[in-house]
Amino acid sequence: MATGGPPTQSPSAPSTDVIESRIDGEFSGWEGETIFKLENGQVWQQASYAYMYSYKYRPKVLIFRTRGGYEMQVDGVSNRVRVTRLR
């Protein structure tokens, strides 16, 4: 017996993919093409031009999928930055 009901999640629904890690070492913000090395081994690069300075040591980061790609939120920093994964 087929239900014929709608799918449980539409293709346009936001993804819940979230990566939690820390910057591996010192963090001093971003300046255009900044590369971020995470403690989990992943490497990400800034994908949108923006400048922001904030010094932190091993801050927690959240990287999450958006409709336009990925964004990174650094603990203690109010701005987010678009990023792409290199490794």
Q: Helix, strand, coil proportions of the chain in percent (round to 5)?
A: 0, 45, 55
Residue 43, domain member (yes or no): yes
Residue 24, domain member (yes or no): yes
Residue 10 has pLDDT above 90, yes or no: no
Compute the distance between CA of residue 11 and CA of residue 8 in angstroms, rounded to an integer: 10
Compute the distance between CA of residue 65 and CA of residue 21 in angstroms, rounded to an integer: 15
Q: Which amino acid is at 73?
A: Q
* Structural domain range at position 62: 18-85
User: What's the number of domains the chain is made of?
Assistant: 1
Compute the distance between CA of residue 63 and CA of residue 66 in angstroms, rounded to an integer: 10
DSSP state of 33: S
Residue 4 has a pLDDT of 55
Percent of the chain residues topping a pLDDT of 70: 82
41-83 pLDDT, tens digit each: 999 999 999 999 999 999 999 999 999 899 999 999 999 999 9
Residue 7, domain member (yes or no): no
Average pLDDT, the chain: 88
